[in-house]
């Protein structure tokens, strides 16, 4: 069961008590991801995440690293395009220790220059290791081309030149602007009560008052998005912005007529094709999620896996993905194949997309797709950490976390003509951007 409350300082809290009796998953998610960087702050969100572990007025970096590990727990973080999340897994009896640590590092970190000098080289090494992985790197290049100068097109890791220019004062300015309680949520998943969480938070080191004048990212209208400079209209990309649930999102992307070719010294060709789609709050998002799962989800019986791997033997890996943001999403298909097979694989992918555009799913196929997705979601509830992180992101960005039952009810209400309309809107070839590493 989910419960919610808000502290006087603006920090929102969500608790899910449906987890192991002995283990708790807790963290703080902040609306301070890559899309909130200013133009001169490339990679700042991710760099701040690294530096948040380097000391507070109360704890040294070594004390931070030992704080949860010494009692058998762990402490971690990640940076996304819209969110930065700090989280810990720990034995239930150490709830107070964990919440105290999480609030301290999130809201009181010092970002010392000496630590910064060392950590920037760590992040630069991370960038270089990422550059050595084309199957990961192509996702960044794809979104960079899809969104161009929009902040969603920026690489989360940034670039080495920018990182080398940052000093403590730069990180502190970024944090003062974005790391405030009213732009954050605290999440707890485990058998704990609201009373226990409140008692622990009474002794934490979070700021006591909210920062005036800030707007939750999920409350932005299309007008405020434009005022922030975060519009989707770019010189080289044609978007028609429509309204849905008070959120603006790009729909009618006109893709180049030929693919972008990026020359890489790789054994395989790596290919990604896709477009922008519906945001998290759009009622059609769940329908696209079902189509995405049917096409190239994790199951070996997905349509793309059957067409490209099982029937043709052309690829080892093929998948489709749906990366959701507040007001848009990125839908894409990825595969790796021999250079000589790229055209044939692309034809097979387009054939599967065309099937969904031209002909509605049969009642049997629709029922099977619904059953499979709801079953996968049910099995995924056993992964408590991933569920805790998913809950945190959803609550941070939309202020609402649907239950599994509510999601499956929505899925089961989808009609074949609903899905065909979504397929015609998103999978139309003129909307699809294609990027090839060869």
Question: Is the Cα dihedral 250, 239, 244, 83 positive or negative?
Answer: positive
Separation CA 243–CA 396 (nearest Å) = 21
Pairing of strands 184-189, 12-16: parallel
The pLDDT tens digits for 353-401 are 999 999 999 999 999 999 999 999 999 998 999 999 999 999 999 999 9
Q: Mention every residue, 6+ apart, whose C-beta is less than 8 A from residue 46.
A: 34, 79, 123, 156, 157, 158
Domains and CATH numbers, the chain: 2-201 (3.30.830.10), 241-437 (3.30.830.10)
Separation CA 336–CA 357 (nearest Å) = 25
Are 435 and 260 within 8 A, CB to CB?
Answer: yes
Separation CA 51–CA 169 (nearest Å) = 13
In terms of Cβ atoms closer than 10 Å to its own Cβ (0-12, 13-18, 19+), residue 423 is: buried
pLDDT of residue 21: 77
Question: Is the Cα dihedral 180, 181, 182, 185 positive or negative?
Answer: positive
pLDDT of residue 16: 95
Instruction: Give me the residue label for tokens 């397929």.
Output: 423
User: Is residue 98 helix, strand or coil?
Assistant: helix
The pLDDT tens digits for 313-357 are 999 999 999 999 999 999 999 999 999 999 999 999 999 999 999
pLDDT of residue 254: 54
pLDDT of residue 223: 29
DSSP bridge partners of 271: 335, 436
**313 phi-psi bin (left φ>0, alpha ψ -120 to 50, beta other):** left
Task: Quote the DSSP letter at residue 270.
Answer: E
- Give the residue ranges of the chain where pLDDT is below 70: 19, 205-257
Instruction: Give me the residue label for tokens 């609201």.
Output: 194
């Amino acid at each position: 069961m989910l419960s919610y409350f808000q502290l006087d300082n603006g920090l929102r809290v969500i608790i899910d008590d449906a987890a192991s009796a002995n283990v708790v998953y807790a963290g703080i998610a902040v609306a301070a991801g890559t899309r909130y960087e200013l133009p001169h702050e490339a990679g700042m969100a991710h760099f701040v995440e690294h530096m948040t572990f380097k000391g507070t007025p109360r704890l040294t970096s070594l004390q931070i690293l030992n704080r949860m590990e010494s009692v058998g727990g762990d402490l971690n973080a990640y940076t996304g395009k819209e969110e930065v999340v700090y989280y810990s897994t720990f034995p239930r009896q150490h709830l107070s220790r964990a919440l105290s640590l999480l609030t301290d590092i999130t809201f009181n970190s010092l970002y010392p220059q000496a630590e910064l000098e060392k950590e920037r080289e760590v992040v630069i090494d991370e960038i270089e290791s990422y550059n050595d992985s084309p199957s990961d790197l192509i996702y960044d290049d794809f979104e960079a081309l899809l969104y161009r100068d929009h902040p969603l097109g920026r690489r989360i890791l940034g670039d080495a030149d920018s990182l080398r220019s940052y000093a403590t004062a730069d990180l502190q300015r970024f944090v003062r602007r974005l790391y405030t309680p009213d732009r954050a949520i605290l999440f707890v998943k485990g058998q704990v009560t609201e009373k226990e969480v409140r008692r622990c938070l009474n002794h934490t080191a979070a700021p006591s008052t909210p920062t005036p004048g800030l707007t939750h990212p999920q409350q932005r209208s299309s007008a405020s998005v434009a005022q922030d400079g975060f519009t989707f209209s770019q010189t080289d990309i044609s978007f028609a912005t429509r309204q849905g649930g008070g959120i603006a999102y790009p729909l009618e992307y006109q893709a180049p007529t030929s693919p972008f070719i990026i020359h890489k010294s790789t054994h395989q060709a790596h290919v990604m094709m896709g477009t922008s789609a519906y945001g998290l709050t759009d009622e059609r998002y769940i329908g696209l999620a079902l189509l995405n799962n049917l096409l190239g989800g994790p199951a070996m019986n997905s349509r793309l896996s059957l067409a490209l791997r099982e029937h043709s033997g052309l690829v080892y890996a093929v998948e489709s993905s749906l990366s959701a943001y507040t007001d848009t999403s990125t839908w894409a298909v990825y595969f790796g194949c021999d250079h000589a097979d790229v055209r044939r694989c692309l034809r097979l992918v387009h054939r599967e997309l065309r099937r969904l555009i031209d002909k509605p799913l049969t009642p049997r196929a629709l029922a099977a797709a619904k059953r499979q997705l709801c079953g996968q979601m049910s099995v995924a509830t056993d992964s408590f950490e991933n569920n805790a992180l998913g809950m945190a992101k959803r609550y941070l960005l939309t202020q609402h976390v649907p239950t599994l039952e509510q999601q499956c009810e929505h899925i089961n209400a989808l009609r074949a003509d609903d899905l065909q309309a979504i397929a015609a809107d998103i999978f139309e070839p003129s909307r699809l951007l294609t990027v090839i590493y060869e």
